[in-house]
Amino acid sequence: MDKLIRLRFYKDRIFKSGIILMTVLSTAPLLLILFYIVKQGISSINWDFFINLPKPVGEKGGGIINGLIGTGILVLVASLIAIPFGAIVGLYLSEYSRDKLSYWVGLSVDVLQGIPSIVLGIIIYLWVVKPTGHFSALSGSIALAIMMLPPIIKSTEETLKLIPGTIKEASLALGVPYYKTILRIILPMGFSGILSGSILSISRVAGETAPLLFTAFGNPFINTNILKPMSSLPMLIFNYAGSAYEDWHKLAWGASFVLIMMILFLNIVTKILERKWKIQF
């Protein structure tokens, strides 16, 4: 009897250590990837790296200015399209959740989130690139905007749903119409939630390559015209990572380092916003 109980305790302990071991192992890839990127990337970072164009094979140096500007413009235009639209749909889903329509809208958001990014690339190619006849940054931004929508909609909806009903009721009891309650009370209170959702979605699409392959296409030069093909950091990494040249790999490591740091920064901003907002209620 005593033996059996001891056996069960041993099993329990072994299981727990196994779980802890597996958990530590599953976090190892992130640490390894970050370690390599920092180790390889930091050596190619200097001022020239940020202000120069990539150089041809054989020449030392070269930078990623075209990718930096491209990513900035692509993400900016995508945000301008996606954030207002996403926030409005999120507002609709949270405030009129009893409508029959809102069930279908919610389902579409879920489906939209699951669409592979390469399929969105095809779609925008067919919708924008083919009719206009050439690749353009605008088409890339539209593809990114569609990818940004689901996270923005979801975080808006969830934030607004968390606002205490008593606050709404207080406003309604004072005779304020429901739509004014939404505009004056609910939206301002949920603002930080919308903001953090938007920043998170920006950090998600900033590293996307697949939807840009057939839309923004890439450009070896600096371009600020959104109707022309444009480069971006992930496209730069993709193009140089596949090459066999040491110099280009170095460039790709540097670009990866910059991209990862941008994304980490955006993630930390989101975390801070979320924490700040949590204290409010």
Instruction: Looking at residues 111 to 170 of the shown chain, list those that interact with other proteins (rule: CB under 8 A).
Output: 111-123, 125-127, 146, 149, 165, 168-169
Nearer to other proteins, 93 or 195 (CB): 93
261 near other proteins, judged by CB under 8 A: no
Nearer to other proteins, 19 or 76 (CB): 19
DSSP string, 123-167: HHIIIIIHHHSS--HHHHHHHHHHHHHHHHHHHHHHHHHHS-HHH
Residues 74-103 that bind other proteins (CB under 8 A): 85, 88-89, 91-93, 95-96, 99, 101-102
Whole-number Å distance between alpha carbons of 135 and 154 = 31
Nearer to other proteins, 36 or 221 (CB): 36
Whole-number Å distance between alpha carbons of 52 and 50 = 6
Binding part of the chain for other proteins, among 47-55, 57-65, 106-114, 155-163 by CB under 8 A, reads: 106-114
Contact residue for other proteins among 78, 109, 189, 199 (CB under 8 A): 109
Nearer to other proteins, 53 or 105 (CB): 105
Binding part of the chain for other proteins, among 55-63, 154-162, 187-195, 237-245 by CB under 8 A, reads: 237-245
For residue 250, the minimal CB distance to other proteins (Å) is 11
Whole-number Å distance between alpha carbons of 19 and 4 = 23
Contact residue for other proteins among 1, 3, 4, 29 (CB under 8 A): 29
Whole-number Å distance between alpha carbons of 127 and 143 = 10
Q: Which two tokens stand for residue 44?
A: 């190619």
195 near other proteins, judged by CB under 8 A: no
| DSSP three-state, residue 87 | helix
For residue 131, the minimal CB distance to other proteins (Å) is 12
- Burial tier of 154 (Cβ tally within 10 Å: 0-12, 13-18, 19+): buried
260 near other proteins, judged by CB under 8 A: yes
45 near other proteins, judged by CB under 8 A: no
Q: Which of 185, 222, 178 is CA-nearest to residue 71?
A: 222
| DSSP three-state, residue 217 | strand
Query: What are residue 63's phi and psi, to 5 degrees?
Result: -140, -165
Nearer to other proteins, 217 or 277 (CB): 217
Q: Which two tokens stand for residue 99?
A: 């409508």
177 near other proteins, judged by CB under 8 A: yes
For residue 213, the minimal CB distance to other proteins (Å) is 6
4 near other proteins, judged by CB under 8 A: no
